[in-house]
Amino acid sequence: MTRLFGTDGIRGRANTHPMTCETALKTGRAVALMARDMGQHQVVIGKDTRISGDMLESALAAGVASAGATACLAGVIPTPGVAYLAACMTDVGAGVMISASHNPFYDNGIKIFQKGGIKLTDDQEKSLEAMIGDPERSPGETVGTISIVSDSLERYARFLLDRFPFEKLSPRIRLVVDAANGAASDICHQVFNDSLFDAVFIHDQPDGFNINKDCGSQHVQDLQEQVAARKADIGIAFDGDADRMIAVDETGGMITGDRILAICAGHAKKKNHLPNNRVVSTVMSNIGLTRALDAMAIKHIRTGVGDRRVLAQMQETGAVMGGEDSGHMIFLDDHTTGDGLLSALRLMTVMAETGRTLSDLASVMQVFPQVLKNVEVDTSCPDFMQIPAIAEAIEAVSSRLGKNGRVLVRYSGTQPLLRVMVEGPEKEVTTAGCDQICQAIQAHI
C-alpha cells in the first residue's frame, strides 16, 4: 500500500485518493480499534469549515462505529481543541481532526491524536497505516454509536481563558482577529470577547469554499490594513484549523513564529518560567532566532520540519517552549500541541505584563533576509543531491554565503513540491542564490 501519512497526517485533494470516503471509513475503524486495544471506547472527531468536511466526518464516524466504539462529533473546532478534548474527556482513546490546515478548500486531511491529546509517533503511524490496509483485521460484531459533543467550543474556550488574567486589564487590548474563514471563526468570538478585549473580527464568515482564501496566516494584507485603520495594538491571523498564528504589530509589521518565540522565551526566562532554559525550533528557523536566544543565554535546539518533530525534541530535552516560523508554537506548560489561540494569548500576556508595544518587543530579534520558493515536481521525489547540476548549484550558493548564511532544500511532506530556502545578510544575494538553485531544479527534475 502506498504510504498514507505525510508530515502531518493524511492529506490530499478531497474525493480523490487518498482523501476519499473509503480511506476515511477505514481510518475511523483503525483508530477505533487502536483505542479499544488501549481499553478506551470513544473517539472525538472535529473538522474545519471545508465543504468536504461533512462528507469525511460521516465516513470517519461510520468507521468508528463499525469497530464498536462511539464517535463523538465535536463539530467545527480548531485542531488543538480536538487535542484538548482527547485529553480531558473520559474514556476517549483518540482524537481525529479533519483539516488540510493552510491548504485551499479543495484539499482536506486527517490528523490523529492519541489518548492525552498528543500526535502519533512515527511508529504509531506505521502501525495504524498497517491496520488501515489490513483486510483481515475484523472489527468484530459489536456496533458502536455516534453522539454530539454539544459544548465542545465552550469547554475549549474555558480551558484557554482560565490560564490568563485578562479581566484585570484596563484599558483593554485593542486587537483585530483574522479567522481565515476557518475553524476559529466561531470560537474566536468566545475567546476574544467584549468583556476582556476590544476586538474586531474579519474573515469569520465561512461558506465552505473561502477558507484561507486571501486571508489568514499566509495572507495578512487585510489584517495589516485593519490594524492601521483601527489603530489596534495587535492583529492576529490564524490558519484554517487554527493551530498556527501570525501576528501584526501596531505599525503593520508582520511578526512570525520565530520572533514570537524569542519574545515569549525572553519573558518566560525573566519570570523563571523557562525550565531547562532551552527553546526548540526547526531547521527552517531564521538565523536571527539563534542569535537572539544566544544573547539571552537561552539554549537553541534545532530539529526536523514539522510540529511533531518539535514536540518530540521538546520531550527529549525537557523544553517547554518550541515552534516553527510558520506560526506553529507549542507551550507544553499549557497544552500538548501547537495552538494558535493559545499562542495569541501568551503573546498578549507579555504585552500586558511589560506594558511594551509589540513592535518594541519584536526588536529583540533581527530577522535575516530569507527567501523561500517552492518548485513543483513529480511524485517520484528523486535524491536531488545525486543530480550533479543541482548539487553543484547548492554548493555554489552555500560557498558564497559562508558563515553568514545557509541553504536548505527539502521535499514538502504534504504537497508535490521541492522547497528551497536561502538565508543570508543581504536580500539581493539570497534572492539570486535561491533563483539559481530553483532554475537547476526546474531544468533537471
| 335 in Cβ contact with 119 (< 8 Å) | no
Q: What Å distances lie between residue 172 and 47, 67, 220, 348, CA to CA?
A: 32, 50, 23, 11
The CB density around residue 443, as the number of other CB atoms within 10 Å, is: 11
Burial of 231 by CB count in 10 Å (0-12 exposed, 13-18 middle, 19+ buried)? Answer: exposed
**How far apart, in whole angstroms, are the C-alpha atoms of residue 28 and residue 58?**
10
**How far apart, in whole angstroms, are the C-alpha atoms of residue 373 and residue 122?**
28
Burial of 90 by CB count in 10 Å (0-12 exposed, 13-18 middle, 19+ buried)? Answer: exposed
**How far apart, in whole angstroms, are the C-alpha atoms of residue 256 and residue 220?**
11
| 265 in Cβ contact with 362 (< 8 Å) | no
Active site residues: 101
Q: Which three cell numbers stand for residue 159?
A: 480551558
Q: What Å distances lie between residue 191 and 148, 157, 161, 241, 318, CA to CA?
A: 22, 6, 7, 16, 29
| 85 in Cβ contact with 127 (< 8 Å) | no
Contacts of 217 (CB under 8 A, 6+ apart): 102, 178, 180, 237, 238, 239, 244, 245, 246, 326, 327, 340
Q: Which three cell numbers stand for residue 429?
A: 544575494
Edge-to-edge, what's the strand order for the sheet holding 174-178?
Answer: 198-202, 174-178, 234-238, 245-248, 254-255
